[in-house]
Amino acid sequence: MELNLRYDMNSPEFGAPFPELYRTAIEQSQWADKLGFRQVFLAEHHGAEHGYCPSSMIQAASILGSTKNIVAHLSALVVTMHHPLRLAEDLAVLDNISNGRVWLTAGMGYRPHEFEMFGLDIKKRLAIMNHALDTLAKAWTGEPFEFEGRTVRVTPKPVQEGGPKIYMGGSTDKSAIRAAKRGYQYFPGHPDLFELYKEEREKAGFPPPEQYKKTAASFLYVTDDPERDWPLVAPHVAYATNTYAQWATERGTGQTLYAAAETVEALKAMPNIKVVTPGECYDYLSGLPDDTAINFHALLGGLDPELSWKSLLLFEKEVLPRLVDDGRLELSC
């Protein structure tokens, strides 16, 4: 197992203020870094209704500059919204700032208004993404190369040989097949897609991919009194899960782990939403496979940082030691 954090910074009007959320994400990442968490996932969208992070690379810099070991995984980085050369430069600098602690899951985007915002044709998004990824590969050699009819060069070279590790993101069969045929690692929006990806990758003649870690609950909150805290966290969780479910309809196809929920009881019925005691948390996690990733979406829906910290610190005190003693956790420090 491995431990990770995840942030999207999306916060409704009743959520915590953005300066507090961004500062808390830095502080929680420092805490996680000292405990041996593996990754902090940072998401990206543009022009969102309630402040979803549009600049995940800048957020990554704030976290990587204050940590030593944890990897910032930009997931997904919507590469179609960035100029390819500037993207190559920014990621190369970020890789140097962190001494090679940057990964990214490349997404091509699916929300129509984002393409309109940047004056892009959504029908050409696949070609735009492929052009960007091809540019990154050439740019990160540090040598001059041809770009749209002119010779250019991107410096400094990244620390990681060939540049930051790139995964392909996606929530459709086509995305799994595309990643397989081009030899990329794959980070699916739904775990069922990974089996299709492995089959197609083998057909294309590539070696087996990295092991895919299935994820535990997408929202895991540890408390000494679930009934007391459910009403406090439910509005934030409902906002987030309803937002993602609505955005999924804009995609038009694909799978998502999120579904709409209007009541606390509906949230409680969702298998990927868990508000549990330390004992229940341990029982739940110890029953999962060894290749599970435990991702704490610690500020989901603009959750009050004080509530968020209470859960994380209770996990550290009463659940983490038991999982370590059992040999279930893979800590990176």
- Average the pLDDT over each of 22-26, 38-42, 255-259, 299-303 and give the range with the smallest value: 255-259
User: What local confidence, expressed as pLDDT, does residue 257 receive?
Assistant: 62
- For position 330, what pLDDT does the model report? 75
- Alpha carbon distance 189, 192 (integer Å): 9
What was the pLDDT predicted at 249?
87
Looking at residue 252, its pLDDT comes to 66
pLDDT at 233 over 90: yes
When pLDDT is cut at 50, 70 and 90, the band that residue 37 belongs to is: very high
CA pair distance 315, 308, nearest whole angstrom: 11
Res 254 pLDDT > 70: no
Average pLDDT over residues 298-320: 98
Whole-number Å distance between alpha carbons of 39 and 33? 9
Q: What is the mean pLDDT of residues 230-242?
A: 96
Average pLDDT, the chain: 94
- Helices marked H in 118-191: 125-139, 173-182
pLDDT at 283: 98
d(CA 140, CA 163): 6
- The one-letter code for the residue type at 300 is L
The pLDDT value given to residue 113 = 97
Q: Give the C-alpha distances (Å, rounded to integers) separating 37 from 6, 28, 49, 243.
A: 11, 11, 31, 28
Position 191 confidence tier, pLDDT thresholds 50, 70, 90 = confident
Q: Quick one: pLDDT at residue 129?
A: 95
Residues 141-167 have pLDDT tens digits of: 999 999 999 999 999 999 999 999 999
pTM exceeding the 0.85 threshold for the entire prediction? yes
Query: Quick check: 278 pLDDT over 80?
Result: yes
Is residue 255's pLDDT more than 60? no
Q: Is the pLDDT of residue 219 over 70?
A: yes
pLDDT at site 19: 98
**pLDDT score of 331 more than 90:** no
pLDDT above 70 as % of the chain? 98
More confident residue, 169 or 112: 112
CA–CA distance, 32 with 2 (Å, rounded to integer)? 12
Distance between CA atoms of residues 188 and 157, nearest Å:
29
Q: How confident is the model at residue 289 (pLDDT cuts 50, 70, 90)?
A: very high
